[in-house]
Amino acid sequence: MKKIIRILFSPVLNYFESGTEAYEYKSSHRTILLTIGVLFSGLAAVVFWLARGADAGYLFPVIIFAATGLVSFIIGYAGSDRAVAKIWGSR
């Protein structure tokens, strides 16, 4: 499953895995990133469910929360240690 996700989302992963500079990786960062991904995805689902039938303006936060959750989950699950450190800004 991880291999399929890496292939599907390779443009996102390549961006975060690029570079040759030194990085500092902590396993807790990956755990927190996965948690953030789940929380933002859940928040997007709740906003979408609560605002159904309302004005289409509610879709903006849904898209932002869902994108943030998806990228966090992808990097946390399938990303390399460098990608996790880069998303945290560890150098």
- Is 45's pLDDT higher than 90? yes
Confidence of residue 76 (pLDDT cuts 50, 70, 90): very high
Q: What is the average per-residue pLDDT within 43-72? A: 89
Q: Where are the domains of the chain?
A: 2-88
What is the pLDDT at residue 30?
93
Give the pLDDT of residue 90: 67
Supply 57's token pair.
Answer: 């303006």
In angstroms, the Cα distances linking 54 to 45, 67, 71 are: 15, 21, 27
CA separation for the pair 15, 82 (Å, rounded): 11
